[in-house]
Amino acid sequence: MFKLIESADVFIHSMRHQAIEKLGFSYEEVAKVNPAIIYCGGYGFSKQGPYASKPAYDDMIQGASGLAAAQSETSGKPQYMATVLADKATGLMMANTILAAAYYRKKTGEGQYIEVPMFETIASFTLLEHMYGATFTPPIGSSLYPRLTSKYRKPYETEDGFISVIVYNDKQWKKFFEISAYPEFSVDIRFRDLASRTKHINELYQLLEKVILTKKTEEWLEIFEKADIPAMPMNIPEDLLGDPHLNAINFFEKMNHPSEGDYWNMSFPATFSKTPVKLNHFAPRLGEHSKEILQEAGYSEQAIDSLLESGVTFENR
């Protein structure tokens, strides 16, 4: 491993600090071999606090961060998101911090140690909205942001399905009140501005729910399109495979993996004008690049053969 570390740009792991240190790969040990390396530890909890030695998985972090409890305001009971949100958001944070460290190294030539704990990452992610009234000292209200935790904030049922619509600013609400035959609400003191609407968000969203039920989904989509009110049909995940927009931009591409067969590959969601992203390699099979990596690290053919024969590594062609 240290042979690979000698020429590596980044060392990244997601073990508890005591586990990685026991293996001999603490930042201090790694930096001895490669002082310019960027070392990123994706821990469950910061090494500086009392939770440092705890294991961490997505579900428990959603619970500990307040995210699952916030869902109880809309669902009636604490609930995890139907996606590994904590894992993915922490992965994005790790990528961003590594890029920042890489920029610093380009400027200074210096590597550094980065700690990206899941708990702190998702706590900050959740509290961006849900510090709300607790932001101030003393608190001026609940920490929960009322609009996001209203039980009436949801895809709304139409005569023949569901629709996702967000009526948000003053102009959009005025248009909606006109469309829904409630023009008098435009001057109602409860709904005249964002602060007032936030205080009475349940009443407002109940009205939205009631009105949306009076027409078919396509009717509403056409009406909202003309009124410039953001709205989309509610999809189930499988619907996305047939989505006209995604198909028009070739978001899904049918590929043939040499060992796994045909599958749908998703395009990278961002586009670059100078450096377009393309699929250069299929997902590797276990051991597929063992020899290639060892050659790159400077191992001789004899040394590689010895590692293969002893079972330290193996090659899957």
Answer whether 231's CB lies under 8 Å from 165's CB.
Answer: yes
First and final C-alpha spacing in the chain: 22
Q: What is the mean pLDDT of residues 194-217?
A: 95
pLDDT, one tens digit per residue, over 37-58 is 999 999 999 999 999 999 999 9
- Nearest-angstrom CA–CA distance, 51 and 237: 36
d(CA 11, CA 98): 10
How confident is the model over 65-76, as pLDDT tens digits?
Answer: 999 999 999 889
* pLDDT-based confidence at residue 315 (cuts at 50, 70, 90): confident
Q: Which domains does the chain have, with CATH numbers?
A: 2-135 (3.40.50.10540), 150-234 (3.30.1540.10), 284-317 (no CATH)
pLDDT of residue 16: 93
288-304 pLDDT per residue, tens: 899 998 998 888 999 99
Q: Is the pTM of this model over 0.95?
A: no
- Which residues have a Cβ under 8 Å from the Cβ of 239 and sit 6 or more positions away? none
Mean pLDDT of 172-193: 92
Non-local CB neighbours of 47 within 8 Å, separated by 6+ positions: 17, 115
Check pLDDT > 80 for residue 317: no
Average pLDDT rounded to a whole number, residues 226-231: 96
